[in-house]
């Protein structure tokens, strides 16, 4: 709790940038909340046994891999933009974050 209350304005701005990017790309990557839930399900059910059961059910393996990749790209893009914003904000706005 102390870490949250004592965070710098630059850290809060970087978190805000990461959340903004996540919200911005949510509709583009997943389409709707159901698409997001499906990708999360694929992410947590990865493994040989789940691939075997999905093959027996007739699900496409490429759909599973694409869902996992979409979730990874969305998380990496959001976190990466937040980290880059943390290091770039003092250069972009030196009066505010310098």
Determine the Cα–Cα distance for residues 26 and 73; give it in Å rounded to an integer. Answer: 11
Whether residue 38 is contained in a domain is answered as yes
| Total domain count, the chain | 1
Whether residue 8 is contained in a domain is answered as no
pLDDT at 59: 63
Region 49-69 average pLDDT = 73
Structural domain span for residue 57? 27-87
The whole-model pTM stands at: 0.79
Whether residue 17 is contained in a domain is answered as no
Whether residue 96 is contained in a domain is answered as no
Distance, C-alpha 31 to centroid of its chain:
14
Contact indicator for 85, 13 with CB cutoff of 8 Å: yes
More confident residue, 94 or 97: 94
pLDDT at 98: 67
pLDDT at 93: 86
């Amino acid at each position: 709790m102390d870490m949250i209350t004592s965070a710098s304005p630059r850290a809060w701005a970087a978190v805000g940038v990461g959340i903004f990017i996540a919200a911005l790309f949510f509709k583009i990557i997943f389409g709707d909340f159901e698409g997001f839930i499906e990708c999360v399900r694929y992410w947590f059910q990865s493994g040989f046994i789940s691939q075997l059961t999905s093959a027996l059910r007739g699900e496409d393996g490429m759909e599973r891999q694409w869902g996992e990749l979409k979730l990874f790209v969305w998380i990496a893009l959001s976190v990466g933009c937040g980290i880059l914003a943390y290091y770039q904000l003092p250069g972009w706005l030196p009066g505010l974050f310098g």
